[in-house]
Amino acid sequence: MLLGKVTPVVDAYSPEILHAISRQSGRDSIGLKAAMPFHGVDIWHAYELSWLNLEGKPEARVGRFTVSAESPNLVESKSLKLYLNSLNNMRFASEEAFSATVIADVGTVAGVAVSLELWGVNDQEIAGGPLAGDCIDNEACADPASGSAVSLGVDGEARVEERLFSHLMRSLCPITGQPDWATLWLHYRGPKLDRVALLQYIVSYRQHQEFHEQCAERIFLDIYHLLAPDFLHLQAFYTRRGGLDITPFRSSEFDAQPRGRIARQ
């Protein structure tokens, strides 16, 4: 794994630098060994995609990778950045040829077919938008160290459908200990969540060391097991680092669709 290590600049095409991380290793830590109670995808935005056309002129794009949560592997983020940089001085006959190469290489490491959409750097398709729902960041919050899944609770006996989000999500890289910042969004129908307890729980992740995707799945399961909801969608919009942002989306419904990127990313 390249995280936490000094690495040289990679100037030549290097698909071998891509590094796989088993998803099951993270799921074992939350007792998820049988059928998963969720479906979903991981969405990666790559803001520093560049290659050369056949005349040697650079091309620049923003890309969106979509990787199924059912893939056996995550792709380690630093290795993906270095791999994409290794394409900067490689010549491709077309955008389609570039995309086909990247899809094949990343898919091989993820263990499943991935998709890659490319846009011009000013394309409005990738402009960040607002989130629907109520921001809970003005709720009371005690010592962050005291929060845990045990602190989650329901508010009364009513059943509701609501969308909630918080910009106060922070977790730590399990290798380097560096902070990863996110906006956490959820949409559910079931017993009403106690918003104070939910914010306390989210803030408790400030010292929690785990990869983005693993954090999202842990939070999903904690809320899902508490509420036994009719449905639950959860999305963690992590901000970019090294030209990449990661947005895990998990849902109890097979055909649920993730939200687009937000301005913070």
Per-residue pLDDT, 10: 81
Per-residue pLDDT, 4: 63
Indicate which residues carry an active-site annotation. Answer: 173, 180
Residue 77 and residue 206: Cα distance in Å, rounded? Answer: 20
Nearest to 188 by CA among 156, 143, 226, 241: 226
**Please, where are the H alpha helices in 19-127?**
23-28, 77-85, 95-110
Which stretches of the chain drop beneath a pLDDT of 50?
146-147
Per-residue pLDDT, 11: 86
Per-residue pLDDT, 1: 64
Entry pTM = 0.93
Domains of the chain: 15-126 (3.30.1130.10), 134-251 (3.30.1130.10)
Residues contacting residue 150 through CB under 8 Å, at least 6 positions apart:
none
Per-residue pLDDT, 6: 64
Per residue in 17-39, pLDDT (tens digit) is 999 999 998 898 888 877 788 99
Per-residue pLDDT, 33: 74
